[in-house]
Amino acid sequence: MKSGRNNKVILIDGNNIAYRAFYAIPDSISTSSGIITNAVLGFTNMLLKLIEKQHPDTIICAFDSKVPTFRHKIFDRYKINRKKMPTELSSQFTLIKE
């Protein structure tokens, strides 16, 4: 990592990219043992493309918390209308985070 004030840092919303990848690539993408990996493939491709185009010094990827946050305390209806994450997507988060 370069020292100084001109380091390029990119902050990524991991859940957003994972959702985009999941819905952009068919769920027929899977391992030889049948584990669906479309979101993993799409997430990785988007990340590699970002690195290739932007040449960041640092990438920070943040994911949503599984437990309620301060936003839920402030507004108890926070994300109340949001649909539950599809199991086919949630099962890929371990690989995506690796």
Burial group, residue 55, by CB count within 10 angstroms (0-12, 13-18, 19+)? exposed
Domain extent listing, the chain: 13-97
Q: What is the pTM of this model?
A: 0.82
Per-residue pLDDT of 10-42, as tens digits, reads: 999 999 999 999 999 998 999 999 999 999 999
Tokens 């108890």 appear where? 76
Alpha-carbon torsion angle 43, 82, 26, 14, nearest 10: 0
Report pLDDT digits (tens) over 48-70: 999 999 999 999 999 988 877 78
CA distance 40 to 96: 5
Q: Please enumerate in sequence order all residues whose Cβ is within 8 A of that of 36, keeping only pairs 6 or more positions apart, or say none.
A: 27, 29, 30, 88, 91, 92
